[in-house]
Structure 1
Amino acid sequence: MGITARGIGLLVAAVVLLGVGFRYAYPELTVLGAAAVVALGYALATAAWRPRLAVERTADPDRVARGEPAAMTLTVRNTGRLRAANLVAEDRCGGRLVPVPLLRLRPSRDTTVRYDVPTHRRGVVPVGPLRVTRRDPLGLVALARSYGGRVPVWVHPRIHPLRAVPTGAGRSLDGRTDSVPHGSITFDSLREYVVGDELRRVHWRTSARVGELMVRENVDTSLPRLVVVLDNRAAAHPDRVDGVAESFEAACEAAASVVAAAVREDLPVSLLLVAPPGDDTAGGAGLETSTAPLDRLAAVELAEGGVDVLRAAMSRLRQDRLGDTLVFLTGPGARGDLGHVGALRGAYPSVVVGVFGAAGPTPAGAAGLTVVDAADGAEFAAEWDGIRRW
């Protein structure tokens, strides 16, 4: 609860009037001071009334690509039974305030407001809560309360179509790729028999030892597995335009394009970050997989970390060996660190590096890698489709 400038003036006047009136026995001044106190009490009681409001939000849609339209529909309902709500309300949408008219909102009635959500920048736009300000008729006291929760709108990076996809370390026996990761080429593990399994896959020796049918579980090792590593270190993207690292935004678009192309071709893909979110950058802890890679790309931000963070991340990649095709996306500040990425060629037969925002071309033979220099995501997509050898 806050007292306005008018309320503060009236409070000071009330104290002065009451003090002078009682001190010098002026009943007129005492009456005026008492009236001012009554007015302040009435203002406090009026502003303290808490209206009963129900707030519902619907994002249409709640996930969009950068630049695509998105709207938020806000419905405010007066669930009270006695009084109409006459309030000043504002809804917070990202960094701006949207006015919401709540004039004479009668009991059991509602009002709906629809407005556009800004999607010109990649990120997660928080919408809400609704801030309702209650004022007294004299404008002496103002009380602000929050209603409803926050609803995020995920603004994904732009996706540029990629025609080419890696074919992996080896060719599939049934064509370029298989549609499922389980096949009949390489033994992977044993599991219990389920109805429908082929009897020729039963491992009789193990079945006799454990007392129940066990079948072989095989995998197709020729199925390409993509690992997309996004370098989100602030040191890798030193250039800023209005506080935004355009090279990092381009890298996010490239990562989204590669992930979308892999999903389109039913290829396993993992999205990893060099530096973890927050302040914990030790040990390459940022290399966690995600079930929603586009959401991660919408929420990812630049993090602090130097070459030691990159070295730790590459060491973990070498140990885990998550796939056979590694796509490393970085900025101009990491051109001197590509040797750490080149050290992964023994673990990953195909390594492609995308460098964004560099002033000049990166040497083609840098660390023996396939390097793609691009100014933005669209140029990366064109260069990617031109790669002849993975």
Structure 2
Amino acid sequence: MTTASVGLAWRRRVWSLRDRAVDLVGPRTAPVLAAVRPWTRSVTGLGWVVLGGGLLALVVGRDQGWTELTVVGLTFLVVTILALAWTLGRAAYDADIVLDRDRVSVGEKAFGAVTVRNRAGRMLLPARMELPVGSGVASFDLPALAKDADHEVLFSVPTRQRGVIAIGPVRSVRGDPLGLLRRMREWTGAHTLYVHPATVPIEASTKGFLKDIEGVTTHDLASSDVAFHALREYVQGDDLRTVHWRTTARVGRLMVRQFEETRRSHLLLILSVAEADYADADEFEVAVSSVASMALQALREERQVSVVAGRGRIRFATGAALLDQLAPLSTDGRAKPLRDLAADAVALVPSASMAALVTGSLPTPRVLRAAHLAVPAQVAAFAVRCVTDGQCTRRRISTLTVIDVPTLADLPRAVRSIR
């Protein structure tokens, strides 16, 4: 028998003994563990120190005959028991969170109310309540409530930054004055508040949103469309409705019309989230707001618009859904460079007729040119550089039009300069 087989046999034996011990002990200890677990979760860090120190002092003091240490241990244990008695009791509440709106723009305030109702069937003593708001916690005192009485607390949420804020759940907190125990119970679920990026309207006359009625003419030929191209000789399978009878009578053979395939205006917005493309967080905020503003303008004009940011295409059916998707967006140190992002974007949206590259101030002209080369030649493209410490300018890098946008308010004027 090899060493490996002996080791495997011993492991199987240990596993068998372990499973047997779990079968014997588990059912007996499960009720005890279920009853104790909520209390162990209620013990704070200071509480564990006092409890552990008391037990250790009591054991060492009795073992060594050290009376003073034994008294310290007993004192710690008595304090722990008193803290436990202080937090005993059971409350029953109905709580509800109501927000005046679930979506706000950055800088606006969201208002809400928390309503707590006594459903215990008896008077409840005053309690401490907490309401988590994002990464912070708001607390308020709940007064004594008679049977079926309720109490309402109004609150506001400042929205200085774009993002998604979780509000709630409302929870009651019972604790002792020394902070050894802290019992919490949740009474509601969490609500989500979307803080949308700021946007500005963009005039419909800008070239960035093509105004053609028939679509953008391509060089792809089709047997039926709007843009007439030329006449050619009839081949089997052609639609007889495209026969040009006047020319047919003149040349003596069937001639049919040939059209250039047209493509409906489709704006593709490519937003870089690479951390290396932005000098600071303000530049990224201007970039996100610029994408949101151009996309909303296209939707208002009933144009096709697609947005690619970060690792993929953002799916949305309405403007509000798009802003929801943009709200939690952040820069990523591992994001693809602008050229690779542009290549992925045109592969995801092959029907685009115009593309906008939106980035920060750090990409060099060579980087912008490389990203432009990744866009097919038949797709009109321009770049938006968000430069918070610069000026609103327009320039050309080879055939690519580049506009610098210091603030969101400069975006309409900058886009109007693309003629």
TM (norm. structure 2) is 0.66
1:287 aligns with 2:313: yes
1:310 aligns with 2:341: no
For residues 88 and 262 of structure 2, the distance between their equivalents in structure 1, rounded to whole angstroms, comes to 69
1:365 aligns with 2:401: no
Distance 1:9 1:32, change over 3 A: closer
Q: CA deviation at 1:223?
A: 3.3
Distance 1:171 1:40, change over 3 A: closer
Q: CA deviation at 1:103?
A: 2.4
1:300-379 alignment runs, 5 A limit: 300-305=329-334, 308-319=336-347, 320-336=349-365, 337-357=367-387, 364-379=395-410
Structure number with higher relative contact order (C-alpha < 8 Å, ≥ 6 residues apart): 1
Give the total of aligned pairs.
331
Distance 1:157 1:7, change over 3 A: closer
- Aligned-residue identity in percent: 27
Q: CA deviation at 1:318?
A: 3.2
Q: CA deviation at 1:88?
A: 1.5
For residues 138 and 171 of structure 1, the distance between their equivalents in structure 2, rounded to whole angstroms, comes to 73
Q: 1:116 aligns with which of 156, 178, 183?
A: 156
Q: CA deviation at 1:257?
A: 0.9
Query: Which residue of the partner structure matches residue 134 of structure 1?
Result: 174
1:2-23 CA distance string (max 9 Å, x none): 2586997699679979998999
Q: CA deviation at 1:73?
A: 1.6
1:172-187 alignment runs, 5 A limit: 172-173=213-214, 185=225
The question of whether the paired residues in 1 share the 8 Å contact of 2:271 and 2:359 is answered with: yes
Q: CA deviation at 1:45?
A: 4.3
1:45-90 CA distance string (max 9 Å, x none): 4425342233321222211111122112222223222350422122
The question of whether the paired residues in 2 share the 8 Å contact of 1:321 and 1:347 is answered with: no
Matched to 2:119, the amino acid is T
SS of equivalent to 1:332: coil
Distance 1:358 1:235, change over 3 A: same
Query: Which residue of the partner structure matches residue 106 of structure 2?
Result: 66
SS of equivalent to 2:144: strand
1:315-341 CA distance string (max 9 Å, x none): 223334242111221001223421233
Structure 1 gaps, min length 5 = 177-183, 187-202, 204-219, 277-285
For residues 348 and 150 of structure 1, the distance between their equivalents in structure 2, rounded to whole angstroms, comes to 48
Distance 1:345 1:85, change over 3 A: same
For residues 236 and 138 of structure 1, the distance between their equivalents in structure 2, rounded to whole angstroms, comes to 51
Matched to 1:373, the amino acid is D
Distance 1:50 1:267, change over 3 A: farther
Q: CA deviation at 1:170?
A: 7.9
For residues 269 and 51 of structure 2, the distance between their equivalents in structure 1, rounded to whole angstroms, comes to 65
For residues 298 and 375 of structure 2, the distance between their equivalents in structure 1, rounded to whole angstroms, comes to 21
Distance 1:383 1:157, change over 3 A: same
For residues 346 and 20 of structure 1, the distance between their equivalents in structure 2, rounded to whole angstroms, comes to 83
Query: Which residue of the partner structure matches residue 195 of structure 1?
Result: none
Higher alpha-carbon deviation: 362-371 or 57-66: 362-371
Matched to 2:266, the amino acid is R
Return the index of the structure with the highest Cα Rg.
2
1:246 aligns with 2:275: no
For residues 263 and 302 of structure 1, the distance between their equivalents in structure 2, rounded to whole angstroms, comes to 26
Query: Which residue of the partner structure matches residue 231 of structure 1?
Result: 272
Query: Which residue of the partner structure matches residue 138 of structure 2?
Result: 98
Matched to 2:343, the amino acid is S
1:150 aligns with 2:190: yes
1:261-283 CA distance string (max 9 Å, x none): 1121111211210x22xxxxxxx
For residues 383 and 103 of structure 2, the distance between their equivalents in structure 1, rounded to whole angstroms, comes to 28
Matched to 2:285, the amino acid is E
Query: Which residue of the partner structure matches residue 43 of structure 1?
Result: 83
SS of equivalent to 2:352: coil
For residues 265 and 112 of structure 2, the distance between their equivalents in structure 1, rounded to whole angstroms, comes to 41
